Amino acid sequence: MRLVRHPILANYYVTYRCNASCGFCDIWEKPSPYVTPEAVASNLEALKRLGVKVVDFTGGEPLLHRDLPKMLAMAKQRGFITTVTTNCLLYPKYAQDLVGLVDMLHFSLDSPIAAEHNKSRNVNCFDHFVRSIEVAKSLGQRPDILFTVFGHNVHQIQEVYDQFCKPNNLVLILNPVFEYNEKAKDEQLSPQQLRALRAWATKPGVYLNEGFIDLRLRGGNQIDAPVCRAASTTIVISPEDKLLMPCYHLGLEALPINGDLETLWRSPAVQQLVRMEGRHDACQGCTINCYMQPSFAVELSQYWWSALPSTLKYNNMKGTWKQLLG
């Protein structure tokens, strides 16, 4: 049973450019402009009318965009919940400019061991991660530690929890790696590791969506009975100011917005793509977290129930319930 029939999340790619080159990601490989604040202002107005609650300013590395604070302020003025994920290379430099503008600030981490984290990112950024925690604390900010869980680092979760999260009173987000475009194909978690990972969902200060675990154990999205609701729940905007359908990772269509996102979204061509969500051949077995999380939230199903405890827990920890329901 469908509970929400309008989009709730916008993944706004402010640029594909990045100052790291992670092996499990290919976004940084693409040539890219930067979004303009004028386009962002127009699109935010349309997103508000369409019912979107959360705007994720993403990339690439979003802090490469010099106007990110200005765009975040635009979103906050319109009542959106904002989220930014950074590799921390630039955070100490721009941290002061972000104060009060980001509801969910995530610092990415792949290993508590400096050499391993730097190797994963192909840039020396571990020291910047550590420094960023210190800077954030000095400004009264509480970033989340976003730990991407691979088959090779699942045993390091306890160390991350003990070394960075508990002493600093920071939320640990466990993000099981997903495969796409041949990326991370050999790094997936085994069924045994997934079942062991589930135990972390109930630990204090930890966010792990158990729906992610269930979906992987059941083989991911099935095109004959799709759980994915990416196209109807998530509006994806590219740095070229195009609407990406049905999602960024599949990217079958890149439709110019031309200053009227709302009309484009409601057009027959886009709504036909919405009706096909989760049913394309490439959707078979998909487990991409950023689309599954909103998918679980809008439809009463086994995944809605398995995701509910973690959703309640995280929003309680972050204090975002009033904004989400407003």
| C-beta atoms surrounding 260 within 10 Å | 14
Angstrom CA distances, 183 to 41, 74, 200, 229, 250, stand at 34, 34, 25, 22, 13
The pLDDT tens digits of the residues spanning 202-226 come to: 999 999 999 999 999 999 999 999 9
Spatial separation of the C-alpha atoms in residues 236 and 256, rounded to whole Å:
12
Do the domain assignments include residue 52? yes
Q: How many domains does the chain have?
A: 1
Q: Domain range spanning residue 114?
A: 9-325
Spatial separation of the C-alpha atoms in residues 309 and 282, rounded to whole Å:
30
Per-residue pLDDT of the chain (326 residues; tens, 9 = 90+): 899 999 999 999 999 999 988 888 888 778 899 999 999 999 999 999 999 999 999 999 999 999 999 999 999 999 999 999 999 999 999 999 999 999 999 999 999 999 999 999 999 999 999 999 999 999 999 999 999 999 899 999 999 999 999 999 999 999 998 875 554 556 778 999 999 999 999 999 999 999 999 999 999 999 999 999 999 999 999 999 999 999 998 888 999 999 999 999 999 999 999 999 999 999 999 999 999 999 999 999 999 999 999 999 999 998 876 566 55
Q: What is the DSSP letter of 63?
A: G
Q: What is the DSSP letter of 29?
A: G
The amino acid occupying position 233 is: T
Do the domain assignments include residue 22? yes
Decide: 323 and 81 in contact? Cβ < 8 Å.
yes
Spatial separation of the C-alpha atoms in residues 236 and 15, rounded to whole Å:
13
Do the domain assignments include residue 53? yes
Do the domain assignments include residue 299? yes
| C-beta atoms surrounding 15 within 10 Å | 23
Q: What is the DSSP letter of 253?
A: E
Domain harbouring 43, CATH code? 3.20.20.70
Decide: 219 and 303 in contact? Cβ < 8 Å.
no
Do the domain assignments include residue 226? yes
Do the domain assignments include residue 180? yes
| C-beta atoms surrounding 77 within 10 Å | 10
Look at strands 242-245 and 253-256 and give their pairing. Answer: antiparallel
Which string of DSSP letters, residue by residue, matches 258-316? TT-HHHHHTSHHHHHHHHTTT-SGGGTT---HHHHHHHHHHB-SHHHHHHHHHHHHHHH
The pLDDT tens digits of the residues spanning 12-46 come to: 999 999 998 888 888 877 889 999 999 999 999 99
Do the domain assignments include residue 98? yes
φ, ψ of residue 193 to 5 degrees: the values are: -65, -40
Do the domain assignments include residue 1? no
